Amino acid sequence: MNEQEIPIDIHLNKLLDWLVSRRICPRDWQKYIIAVRQNINNAIQDMPAVEEIANMLTGTYINYFHCQRIVEILKETESSSKNIFGQYSSQRMKDWLEIGKLYEKDNIYLAEAAQLLVRNIVYELPSLKRQLVKCRQIQEESIKKEADYVKNENAMRQNYLSSCQKIGIEGKNIKKELLSLLDELPGSLNAVATSAKDLTLVRNYYVSFLNFTLKKDMDSNCLPVLKYVIEKGNTTTFEWRTGEPPEVVEVTTPVFPLDVDCASTEAADDQIDFGDFVANSESGDDRSSSSPNGDFVHVDREECKPENGYQIDFGDSDINWDISVETSGTNDVPVFEGEGGKVARGTDALSVLENETTRNSFYNDLLELEAFLDQRVMEAESSSSDVLSSSFFNNAPEILQMQSTDVLKQMLNSTKSLSSQLMTTKLKHLYLIKSSPRYVDRLVESLKSKLETAEKMIDCQKAVKLKYHEAVLEEKALEPKIKIIVDKTKILLSEVEQDISKRYKNRKVNIMGGLSALQQITVY
C-alpha cells in the first residue's frame, strides 16, 4: 500500500502531545498565546456591523481560523482604505493581520485549536449535556411532586371535612360552632336515656339468668345505672345518689366566648370567662336558667372544688353560712340544705349521663350486657355446647327457655346500638368540651392543622411549578447553546485535520474520539 494512502490517526486526548512531540508546536506555546488573546480582546471592540462576524463572536472561543475569515471579510468592508501602494490604512485590518502573524509564529494556533477541541469535546459539551439531563429530570420530578402535593392537599381537606362532619360542624368558624354544639348535648343524652328503655327486656333476661345460676336475687346489684336510667330517665346525679329529687339545682359552668373568630386561638386560656356562681333554679326542676348551653353544664371540679368537703353558695357577694348537712338514703351521701331546701351543686347538679363518673358506669353496664349476650349467642349457635337445651335449664324461668338465637342476636344488636349512640365521635368531643374549656382550643388547633397542612401543600405546588418553569427555561437556553458549540467544534475539528494533512502531503488525518463524541451529543 502506498504511504500516502495510509491515514494518520491521532487520539483526541493525545493531539496536543502529538503536535509538540513532532515539533510542530513549541512546548511553551501558552506564554505566546497570552499576547494574541490580548490583541483579540482589543480588536473585537471595534468591528464592522457584519452578521457573519457577529455569529463568529457568539457561542465559542475566537481562534486562528476565525481570524482568517474576519480578515477576508474586512478586505471587502475596508477596501476603500487601501492606499496607492495597495496597503490597508484601516486600523481594523492592521490589528487582525497582526493577530494572524502572531498566531502563525511557531504554529501556536494549532496548539490552541487542539486545546479548544479537548476542552469542548471532553469537558464543556458533556457538562452541558449533564445540565440538560438534569433539567429534564427536574421537570419530570416536578410534575410527579405536583401531582403528589395536589393529592395530599385534597386528602387533607377531605380529612378536615370528614372530621368536621363527624363532630357535626361546618368548619367555617370552628370554635364558635364547637361551642354552639353544647346546646345539643342535653337533648342527645335524653335521647339515649329514652332509647335505654328499649333494653328493659334485655336487662330482665340478664337478671333472670344471674338469679337462676347464682341462686340468689341479683336485681338490685345488676347493672345499677342502666336500671336507674330505664326507670327514672336522665335525672340529676343528686337524685341518683340520694333517691330524692333536689329542690334547687345550682349549675356552675365556665362561660365560653361564643364570638371567637376561628382564625384566632392564641392566648386561649386568657379568653375563657369562668363567670359567676349562681343559684336560681326553680324547685323540683332539673334545669338552670344560669346555663347558657343546656339543662346541665359540667363544672370544672378542680377550680370549683370546695375545701373540707363543704359547698359554699357564691350567689351573693356575701357568703351564706346558714348551711346544714344531712344524710339520706342508704348511700350516706351528704345532702345540702339552704334557704331553698335541698340543693344540688357541682357534679350533683349534672345529669346522670352528663356526669363523667355515672356516664362511665352506664357505659360499663352496656359493655357487660354486650359481653353476656355475645357469649349466649355463641352458645346458642354451637351444636356441641347447646346449653339452652340441656337438662340444667329444664327448671329455668320461661324467659330463659323461650329465647331463640335470633332473639338473642336482636338483643345484642339493640345493646350495641345504644352503646354506639352514647359514644359517637360527636358526643365524645362534647363530653371533653364540657369538662375542659382548654380542650376546645386543642381541638380547634387539631382541626386547623389539617387546613394548614393543605395550605402548605398549595405552597409546595407553587414551588415545584416555579422549579419546573425554571428548568424549562434553562433547557431552552441550553439546547441552542449546545448546538452552536457542536457545529463550531465540528468545523474546528475539520480545519485542524486539514491543516495537519497539508503538512504531511495531504494524507488523510483522523482525530479519533472527536467526531463520534460530537455525533452522540447531536443525536441526544
pLDDT in tens, 158-202: 999 998 888 888 888 888 888 888 888 889 899 999 999 999 999
Give the pLDDT score at 88: 60
Q: How far apart are CA 336 and CA 327, in angstroms?
A: 9
Percent of the chain with pLDDT over 90: 35
322 has pLDDT over 70: no
Please provide residue 326's backbone torsions phi and psi, each rounded to the nearest 5 degrees: -125, 160
Give the pLDDT score at 73: 86
146 has pLDDT over 70: yes
310 has pLDDT over 50: no
131 has pLDDT over 90: yes
Listed as own residue / partner, the contacts of 472-479 with beta carbons closer than 8 Å and 24 or more positions apart are: 472/135, 472/139, 474/131, 474/135, 475/132, 475/135, 475/136, 475/139, 478/128, 478/131, 478/132, 478/135, 479/132
Specify the range with the lowest mean pLDDT, choosing from 127-141, 232-246, 250-264, 476-490. 250-264
Specify the range with the lowest mean pLDDT, choosing from 65-79, 104-118, 348-362, 458-472. 65-79
Within 168-223, residue ranges assigned H as helices are 174-180, 185-196, 200-214
User: Over the stretch 51-76, which tens digit does the pLDDT of each residue have?
Assistant: 888 777 776 678 899 888 888 888 88
**89 compared with 162, residue with greater pLDDT:** 162
Give the pLDDT score at 522: 65
Q: How far apart are CA 33 and CA 145, in angstroms?
A: 51
**95 compared with 48, residue with greater pLDDT:** 95
Averaged pLDDT of the chain: 78
Give the pLDDT score at 109: 94
User: Over the stretch 386-408, which tens digit does the pLDDT of each residue have?
Assistant: 544 455 566 767 777 767 888 88
User: Over the stretch 469-508, which tens digit does the pLDDT of each residue have?
Assistant: 999 999 999 999 898 889 889 999 999 999 999 999 899 9
Q: How far apart are CA 510 and CA 496, in angstroms?
A: 10
Q: Which three cell numbers stand for residue 148?
A: 403528589
Read off the pLDDT of each residue in 275-291 and give the average, rounded to a whole number: 36
For cell 395530599, name the residue.
Answer: 152
The 10 Å Cβ neighbour count of residue 186 is: 21
Q: How far apart are CA 444 and CA 450, in angstroms?
A: 10
**207 neighbors 368 (Cβ within 8 angstroms):** no
205 has pLDDT over 50: yes
Task: Place 308 in a pLDDT band, splitting at 50, 70 and 90.
Answer: very low
291 has pLDDT over 50: no
Give the pLDDT score at 281: 36
Read off the pLDDT of each residue in 140-148 and give the average, rounded to a whole number: 95
Please provide residue 510's backbone torsions phi and psi, each rounded to the nearest 5 degrees: -120, 120
2 has pLDDT over 50: yes
Give the pLDDT score at 498: 93
Give the pLDDT score at 360: 92
User: Over the stretch 267-280, which tens digit does the pLDDT of each residue have?
Assistant: 334 343 433 333 33
